[in-house]
Structure 1
Amino acid sequence: MSHDPLLDFRGQRVLITGAGSGFGALLAQQLAERGATLVLGDIQAAPLEALVETLRERDVAVQAQLCDVASEAQVRALVRQAEQSFGGLDMAVNNAGIAHPFTALEQLDEASFDRQIAVNVKSVLFGMKYQIPLMQQQGGGAILNISSMAGIGGAPKLAAYAAAKHAVVGLTRTAAVEQARRNIRVNALCPYYSHTPMVDDGGLADASTQAMLASGSPMKRLGRPEEIVAVMLMLLSPANTYMTGQTVAVDGGVSAF
């Protein structure tokens, strides 16, 4: 474990939603290697339990519970787990989210739109609603909300997802301004399509679709989870103390066009 303050997470109590797979699972492992204490939530029991077992074998202090992030009560319970088990919360990563199949805007149905708002927007609101007071009590903290490139630009055939991810950016910027004097940093991460279960196991899995998505990036490939998580670590870093309210694209150059 490095003692460089940029990568030293010893003593940091970190909550992660959507921790069972994708970015969340990899981030949990990376933080554990750097000394963090973890509170993990996911809606799926099996991958969450497998991750916890792996972490505990490495003597990581970790608590986990099922959490449907569209439920305010369950999000509140996850934050309370951090307080009850570890006495507080230093960092939170509101990572859980869902996509929807490619659909032209005029063909979107209300149920699909509502589901995007419930899982991708309310989850971030509920998370910060309960994370922020804990951080206020101890004089500071860091929150990272996972948005998307669809949160800073148009996303053809992903209108509901884009609307939800734009809303995450609005919540992030507002919370950052409200909490800046209290030493609570709030930033958003906006990845391009990356090889996570949402992409590889969802409606974007076929080779022709992935080739099309890759061609949209100047690097001509999708992102790798470890590339996205490296920037998550940077944004959460205890040494990164003056950066707040930012929307950081990790996109192979897409936003440079």
Structure 2
Amino acid sequence: MNMEQQVVIITGAGSGIGRETAKLLATMGKALVLVDFDDKSGQDTLHAVKEYHQQAIFVQADVSQSNDVKKYVDAAKETFGRIDAFINNAGVLSPPTLLGDLEEETFDRIISVNLKGAFLGLKYVLKEMEQQQSGVIVNTSSAAGIQGQPYLGGYAASKHGVIGLTKTAAMEYGPKGIRVNAICPGGVRTNMTKGLASSPEENGPLRRLADPTEIANVIAFLISQEASYVNGAVVPIDGGLTS
């Protein structure tokens, strides 16, 4: 492998923002470690990026489980020798419901994947980056991490937590040469949001949902040298929804 080639882990790589980010980074010559809970969708993304003749592997993992997180981190190290960038992106959404009607089991699952999963990814990837004294991380939060989200209370809570983790990690690890930022997409056209009805007004001033490629472009910038002084940032990509 070319030592100039950036090694990137992407969780939630099987669909949506994760898949489009993987495809974009493949066109830019990155070496990729693709992670997803769903084996088939993850393999589909692997096949898609292989069309660009880039080095890539897929690791099936549940990001809410420590052993699975260690598995994808170890796979990255064993295959490529280092981790230059980490797209901490895996997440789940629940059917819209009033907070008082939200089932405890559903809340636990959302927090487990969206918040604990983000924490575990940070925990184990930061250890590797600290040894390298370099690295960049992009955590996927949400517009619901900046403001309240009616009928998606558990999701909003988890994404607010991701921002807290991001700001803390940026302060702790910036002196060690590691940058940590968060993106906050608004409505994005993905399988995860397909069942959520919304009016144009609810999508913000641009009156439309984002395409996943529009989110991927910002991620690609944040892990690049062009963003070398961006650390601890919470970047809305929501068409002005949270303005």
Q: Same fold (TM over 0.5)?
A: yes
Q: 1:186, 1:37 → 2: CA distance?
A: 20
Q: Specify which of 209, 223, 227 is matched with residue 240 of structure 1.
A: 227
Q: 1:39, 1:197 → 2: CA distance?
A: 22
Moved over 6 A (4+): none
Matched, 1:19 2:13: yes
Matched, 1:219 2:213: no
Q: Give unpaired runs (5+ residues) of structure 1.
A: 1-8
Q: Name 1:173's counterpart in structure 2.
A: 167
Matched, 1:147 2:141: yes
Q: Name 2:91's counterpart in structure 1.
A: 97
- Equivalent positions of 1:175-190 (< 5 A) are 175-190=169-184
Matched, 1:229 2:210: no
**TM-score, scaled to structure 1:** 0.91
Q: 1:47, 1:99 → 2: CA distance?
A: 17
Other structure's SS at 1:239 match: helix
| Post-superposition offset of 1:55 | 2.3
Q: 1:12, 1:165 → 2: CA distance?
A: 27
Matched, 1:138 2:132: yes
The number of aligned residues is 240
Q: 1:10, 1:219 → 2: CA distance?
A: 39
Other structure's SS at 2:109 match: helix
Q: CA RMSD in A?
A: 1.3
| Post-superposition offset of 1:10 | 5.3
Q: 2:30, 2:4 → 1: CA distance?
A: 5
Match for 1:215: what amino acid? E
Q: Give unpaired runs (5+ residues) of structure 2.
A: none
Contact 1:10 1:36 in 2 (8 A): no
Q: Name 1:3's counterpart in structure 2.
A: none
Q: Name 1:115's counterpart in structure 2.
A: 109
Q: 1:191, 1:53 → 2: CA distance?
A: 26
Q: 1:60, 1:192 → 2: CA distance?
A: 30
Q: Which deviations, in whole Å up to 9, do the C-alpha atoms of 1:24-45 show, x marking residues without a partner?
A: 0110111111110000110111
Q: 1:132, 1:106 → 2: CA distance?
A: 37
Match for 1:126: what amino acid? L
Q: Name 2:22's counterpart in structure 1.
A: 28
Q: 2:236, 2:78 → 1: CA distance?
A: 35
Q: Percent identity?
A: 41
Contact 1:120 1:165 in 2 (8 A): yes
Q: Which deviations, in whole Å up to 9, do the C-alpha atoms of 1:187-245 show, x marking residues without a partner?
A: 00000011011112xx31xxxx23x2x31211111111111111111111122111111
Q: 1:107, 1:173 → 2: CA distance?
A: 31
